[in-house]
A and B are shown apart, each in its own frame.
Chain A
Amino acid sequence: MQIRRSRLLAGLAAVAAATLVLTGCAGGGSGTKSDTLTYTDNVPKDKVTLQVWSFLPGNYEGGAEAYDKVIAAFNEKYPQVTIKLTDMPYSTYWDQLRNSGVSRSGPDVVTMYGGAQAYSYRNSLFPMQNAMSPEVKKDLRYIDENYSKDGNLYMLPVGAYGYAFLVNQSLFEKAGLDAQKSLATWDGMLQACTTFKEKGIPAIASGWQDGIQLETLLYMISSQLMDTETLAKWTKGELPFNDPLFHTVIDRVLEMNKAGCFGGEEALGKAMYNDAFDQFDAGKAALSLGGGLDRAENDFKSIPSLTVIPMPQAPESKHENLIDAGADAGWAVTKWTKSPEAANAFVNFLAGPEAQQILWDTVHVVPNNNGVDVQLTTPMQKVYIPLIMNPENHTGFSSFSLELLAVVERNAGPLISGKMSVDQFFEQANRAYEKNN
């Protein structure tokens, strides 16, 4: 086994470099020395290549081509920057991102959720609050609620979602109900659930095993109950999870359960992804919790009576027509990038009107930039987009810490089935919340 000398030296160099990285002596490895990113129009003219990681192109039919178009448009302005966008598999994405954070190498630009998720990757990301171009700063929505609790904005929010009910109106008719009327009020919704239960039709397609449904309901109802000041407190980490607000949320969820909204024991063994969705897609449930336009569009093909109706405001809601809506995802710049100006330019471009316009026009990614001209063409768009764009909307979604969400997710089944009491739930959840605050 002859090891060529060059290989051997390379190997030793690697071990040395790795030791430096692992012992933290290199202070972040190669990359910029500054700790902040400031927006600049001046991207160096040297040829650079940016590695970009994302799972977003795979989310949409034709997503890869759409992003190619975006990259082409970017290159018209910055021909010296070559973008290598890799569509990463979603199930391994966050782990691979962790790994690159430990090795201080890999991508230059990454897809990243804001708030708590970004905070847990904070050692890998540049704070971007000073890195936004003036246009982006002016026109981009959902910036404030994506700040992390240390006061940094680690990503630029891009895209928009909004949680509402996907409604199979023909099933409502079958039960003798009018969907719009039933879902206009909270009590109306509960009544409808009870009626569905009596008729043996599942009301809301449900699955508790992965716990995401409880999370979603948590976002939907807590956003209704929060006014702007409360949301600001929550974003800063100054609102404990034990607050009466969240108790009310859980009480309302359990109230919905009692009314028969979520079906019975069979929902315990199902997961929201994908069992509950499949159940709705097969036309077997009257309602489904939906967050994205693309799902509504897809389902519309098999459910002609589909429409989108917001969840009615709970009695304690501080709003009129709010739905939980916010940024779909975001983009961030990694700290070990060798070309921070180019990377920042790309992130700003992605957040900007031109890129979001392309994505809207080609694959109907809902934009969060006010500079995008949103033409509504399909029935689903005409119903859904106004709901999402309602300026009343906000969400505290990104400030739910990952440990808190883990507790919520794993205890969803026991809480709904009654095996876990509300007090026990909050005790565990608040403990997880305190850990981070």
Chain B
Amino acid sequence: MSGVAVSPARRQNSTGRRLTLRTVIAVLIAVPFIVPFLFLIATATREHGDYLDSPGGWPRSFTLDHIVDAWQQADLGRALVNTLLMCLVACLVCASTSLAGGYFFRINQARWTGPARMLLGAGYAIPMVAWLIPVFVIVAQAGWTGNIYVAGVVNGVSSLPFGFFFVHTFLKQSLTDEVIEAATLDGAGVFRAFWNIGIPMALPAISAVLALTFVWSFGDLLVAATLLQSNTDAYTLPLAATTLTTREDVNLQGQAAAALVSLLPTLVVFAVAQKALKQGFGGGSEK
């Protein structure tokens, strides 16, 4: 047995012991996650003088000034709305096409689908810099720069290979042949089956894809900076946050404040989607 302290305690029959030990370990593991988070909050809420005095030290002050300043200077309110809209588009694009694609690969087992699935999944392995620049040229020529909906579509497509692959993996486990056959028994076409069975059965996986696409699109800077260019009205939160850094001043406190503002919506979405995420990855075979 490996030298983990769990083992000997586990041998004992007392459930109370086991409970405490695992919980203790979980708490210990949680410490390196909570500390940087607290550090972020501290950096964002310390008075500037206090921060300068000991950037890595204990906070001795508290102020909401940085958050307020960041909100006003970088127009974070508008940026937040832009980001939510953009993420909505990204999620719709990614979820709908992933759903359809994942379902297709579930029902079609022809030999060519295996390699096709690998190839389409390999789209995830293309560095963003490589595909974004030509895409940007097309967008620029069409006069569509500064458009958050276009940015949303591009963000959606960037998660697409992961999305459909994941839905397919899920459906492989949870959607049995019998159920599909039952749906098509009375001669109902593929789309009817998709609507009646495919979508409901894939809902947990789709919730997962939605949540992850949301989180990834929310935090994206590259697509936003490239496609939104100089249209400051359309800036998303990460891009708006970069305006707080000037040539002369990195402004870590401002950045931390903006990061806190970004954190809240994503945390909310994540909390809501946590349950669905669990079901999504789990294959839902128990339900």
Show the binding face of A for B, using Cβ within 8 Å. 10-11, 13-15, 17-18, 21-22, 51, 53, 55, 58-59, 86-92, 95-96, 99-100, 102-103, 105-107, 271, 273-275, 277-278, 281-282, 292, 294-295
Q: Looking at chain A's contact residues, is the secondary structure mostly helix, strand, loop, or mixed?
A: helix
B residues 50-90 near A (Cβ < 8 Å) are: 52-53, 55
Considering the chains assembled together, what is the distance between the CA atoms of A298 and B239 in angstroms? 27
Contact B247 A281 (CB under 8 A): no
14 inter-chain pairs at a CB distance below 8 angstroms, sorted by A residue, are: A14-B143, A51-B230, A86-B232, A88-B230, A89-B243, A96-B225, A96-B230, A99-B136, A102-B133, A102-B137, A103-B141, A106-B140, A106-B230, A273-B248
Interface residues of B in 191-246 (CB under 8 A from A): 221, 225-226, 229-230, 232, 239, 242-243, 245-246
Query: Closest residue to B245 on the A side, CB-wise?
Result: A91
**C-alpha spacing A292/B221, complex, angstroms:** 30
Q: How far is the CA of A65 from the CA of B272 in the complex (A)?
A: 44
Chain A contacts for B226, CB-based, 8 A: 95-96, 99
Decide: A59 and B229 in contact? CB cutoff 8 A.
Answer: no
> Are A99's CB and B249's CB within 8 A?
no
B134 at the interface (CB under 8 A from A): yes
Give chain B residues whose Cβ lies under 8 Å from the Cβ of A10: 142
Interface 0/1 of B254-272, CB less than 8 Å to A = 0000000000000000000
Q: Is the CB of A278 within 8 A of B55?
A: yes
Q: Give CA–CA (A229, B242) in the complex, Å.
A: 42
Residues of chain A within 8 A of B120, CB atoms compared: none
By a CB distance below 8 angstroms, the chain A residues around B239 are 89, 92
Inter-chain CA distance A315–B36, complex, in Å, is 48
Q: 10 closest A-B pairs (Cβ-Cβ)?
A: A14-B142, A103-B140, A282-B52, A17-B141, A89-B242, A18-B138, A274-B250, A86-B230, A92-B225, A18-B141
Closest Cβ neighbor of B133 among chain A residues: A102
CA A273 – CA B144 in complex, angstroms?
Answer: 35
Q: Quick one: which of A14, A96, A275, A281 contacts B138, CB cutoff 8 A?
A: A14
Q: Which of these, A11, A90, A100, contacts B229 with CB under 8 Å? A: A100
Q: Which residues of B contact A294 (CB under 8 A)?
A: 248
Distance, CA A273 to CA B232, complexed state (A): 26
Q: List residues of chain B with CB under 8 Å of any chain A CB.
A: 49, 52-53, 55, 133-134, 136-145, 221, 225-226, 229-230, 232, 239, 242-243, 245-252
Q: Nearest-CB distance from A336 to chain B (Å)?
A: 11
Determine whether the beta carbon of B243 is less than 8 Å from that of A275: no
What would 12 more interface pairs be, CB under 8 Å, given A58-B246, A96-B229, A277-B249?
A10-B142, A53-B230, A58-B243, A86-B230, A86-B232, A89-B239, A89-B242, A99-B140, A105-B140, A105-B145, A107-B230, A274-B250
- By beta carbon, the residue of chain B nearest A17 is B141
Tell me the complex Cα distance, A433–B140, Å.
Answer: 34
Select the residue from A13, A103, A106, A294 with max chain B CB neighbours within 10 A. A103
Q: Within the assembled complex, what's the spacing in Å between the Cα atoms of A292 and B243?
A: 20
CA distance A21 to B144 in the complex (A): 16
